[in-house]
Copies of this chain bind each other. A is one copy, B any other.
Amino acid sequence: MAGTDGTQSPIAGGPVIILVGPQLGENIGMVARAMLNNGLTELRLVKPRDGWPNPAAEASAAGAIEVLEKARVFETTAEAIADLNHIFATTARTRDMTKRVAVPRRAAQEMRALDQAGQKIGILFGPEKAGLHNDDVVLSDTVISVPLNPAFSSLNLAQAVLLVAYEWFQQGTEVPDQELVLGGSELAPKAELVNFYERLESALIENGFLWPPEKRPNMIRNLRNIFQRAMLTQQEVNTLHGVVKSLRHGPRKQGGDDSGKSKDT
């Protein structure tokens, strides 16, 4: 899915993403993309296995390369989080420790509140195979655990970052939950709709479809409800008028008009 608008200025702020011991450069690049899709730009790496910079990471980051260019590298997790106020640790494994565990949605709500309060947030993700070590989890304030199918729970590193970053972004976006995208017209005013209904119904009464008379009010309501649910635009009402007319009167005569008057050939 690609909808990048190059004229938009980048979003700033938000949680710092911290990868502890990431292994594949390709995964780090994919993490950069997952971050940037959701407006996150600050990445920190703790002892990346293959060192830094990493050409494989740059190749897979592609358009998100700015995230890698600004990434900072640390020797230890403690150093990577030293300046941050609140740490979330993302892990699937249950631990033998007493910790607060939140789902990503709830964690994101808390992140937003912390961010509003000027607190600096970091989110830890562990090495691809092993996940975070207990000593890294202990430094976190909250564990994020993603509820998944118990019979199959297997996200790769970039997908885990994507879901957490997505939850963060959704809480801040002003995109409406749902909307009717009008594609170039306005919703038809009710007078136009009623006019269309009445013309349609007259035709159907004339043609014997709305019969018998005692069933007519109900049939008319059912018919109107069909079109009401469509939420017709003015242009669509015009189109439907033309459809009804065409059905009633057949093809337009060559060079003729719509009035139905015949012509001498």
Contact = CB atoms under 8 A, between A and B. Distances in A.
Contact of A155 (B1, B10, B107): B1
Interface in A1-31: 1-6, 8-11
Given A1-B90, A11-B149, A11-B151, A100 B180 contact: yes
Contact of A5 (B102, B151, B169, B177): B151
Given A1-B92, A10-B152, A100-B179, 17 more contacts: A4-B150, A5-B151, A8-B149, A37-B149, A38-B149, A64-B152, A99-B181, A100-B178, A101-B181, A103-B175, A103-B176, A103-B178, A105-B170, A142-B178, A147-B173, A148-B169, A163-B163
A1 B143 CA distance: 13
A142 B177 CA distance: 12
Contacts of A1: 90-92, 131, 146, 153-155, 160
Q: How many identical chains are in the complex?
A: 2
Given A105-B170, A106-B177, A159-B159, A153 B2 contact: yes
Contact of A37 (B6, B99, B153): B153
Interface in A129-187: 131, 142-143, 145-155, 159-160, 162-163, 166, 169-170, 173, 175-185
Contacts of A98: 180-185, 233, 236
A154 B4 contact: yes
A127 to B, nearest CB: 11
A36 interface: yes
Interface of A: 1-6, 8-11, 33-34, 36-39, 63-64, 90-103, 105-107, 131, 142-143, 145-155, 159-160, 162-163, 166, 169-170, 173, 175-185, 233, 236
Contacts of A2: 92, 131, 153-154
Given A177-B106, A178-B106, A150 B5 contact: yes
Nearest to A162: B159
A173 B92 CA distance: 16
